[in-house]
Amino acid sequence: MEQKSGNQGSAEDKISPIMIRNMSITYRTEPALWNIDLDFPARKMVAIIGPNGAGKSTLIKAVMGLVPITAGKVHIYGKPSHKNRDKVAYVPQRGSVDWDFPTDALDVVEMGLYGKLGWFRRPNSKTRNVARECLDRVGLSDYADRQIGQLSGGQQQRVFVARALAQDAQIYLMDEPLNGVDATTEETILSVLANLRKGGKTIVMVHHDLRTVDKYFDWVVMVNRNLIAAGPIKEVFTKINLDRTYQEKRCMSIQ
Ligand code: ADP
Ligand code: MG
């Protein structure tokens, strides 16, 4: 495994937004991820790439506490992940969501605010305004009342990005938000993310299109059950690392 820091800058950048140590995750018998060590850099656009079944979704679900970690640890801004998870917004893979759920776009975005409100405070006109503003940022202000099941795939994805925006997090974890979306959605999401990064946020995205990795991202994590490489695009996004990442079966023996 090869990891380059690519970090320079102020003291606050010295604590990694997400630090993963010796993390393994086994769902049944075979490990989905094996012995991962990784420090995500602050204030960058980071792509996670690897073949189907490589453990990309598992990696970000582990950070969110959505799958149990079999061994190792995850820290968010220097603390055990559960203590700082409110600093992370998560956009799940679109296919994993039940779109028949009877709710409109504005409600979905407003749900992003519940964590901040706490259990006992109800949404109010202020939270509705924040939610409307976030829908506007993804170009969907005219769709606030639309049932989510009636939106196109790209619009659904933008609603989820708007929900993440409403959370006002420091770190944005997104699982293939550009997969199968229309050109307008892709441009909108990329421009929203570019603005977030300008504002000092950290963005980590599972990305499937190898042709756009060097165009869109600063940093790349290459995974296939093992961590193959992680670092600035120029240093680690190389043919040799791509070959190693996309080889058929990787397993525990690789260090
Ligand atoms: P990727 O996102 O890179 O395609 P995943 O993280 O979804 O990969 O899956 C990694 C491996 O773990 C795959 O072999 C997948 O079949 C398996 N897996 C994922 N989720 C579960 C689950 N909930 N139960 C059992 N196996 C799972
Ligand atoms: Mg996945």
Query: For 173-188, what is each residue's pLDDT tens digit?
Result: 999 999 999 999 999 9
Q: Do you know the residue count of the chain?
A: 255
3-state percent helix, strand, coil for the chain, nearest multiple of 5: 40, 25, 35
pLDDT at 100: 74
For residue 31, give the ligand nearest its CA. Answer: 1
pLDDT at 101: 75
CB 241 within 8 A of CB 222: yes
Cα 95 to averaged position of ligand 2 atoms, centre (Å) = 10
Q: Is 92 in the pocket of ligand 1 (CB under 6 A)?
A: no
For residue 59, give the ligand nearest its CA. Answer: 1
Q: Is 54 in the pocket of ligand 1 (CB under 6 A)?
A: yes
| Weakly modelled stretches of the chain, pLDDT under 50 | 5-8, 250-255
Can you give the pTM of this predicted structure? 0.90
Full set of structural domains in the chain with CATH:
43-65+84-247 (3.40.50.300)
pLDDT at 249: 54
Q: Is 89 in the pocket of ligand 1 (CB under 6 A)?
A: no
Cα 50 to averaged position of ligand 2 atoms, centre (Å) = 9
Cα 176 to averaged position of ligand 1 atoms, centre (Å) = 15
Cα 161 to averaged position of ligand 1 atoms, centre (Å) = 23
100-to-148, 149, 156, 178 alpha-carbon distances in Å? 8, 5, 12, 21
Residue type at position 99: W
Which of 220, 209, 162, 158 has the alpha carbon at shortest distance from 187? 158
Q: Is 95 in the pocket of ligand 1 (CB under 6 A)?
A: no
Cα 119 to averaged position of ligand 2 atoms, centre (Å) = 31
pLDDT at 253: 43
Per-residue burial over 23-57, b if 16 or more Cβ lie within 10 Å, else e, is bbbeeeeebbbbbbebbbbbbbbbbbbbbeebbbb
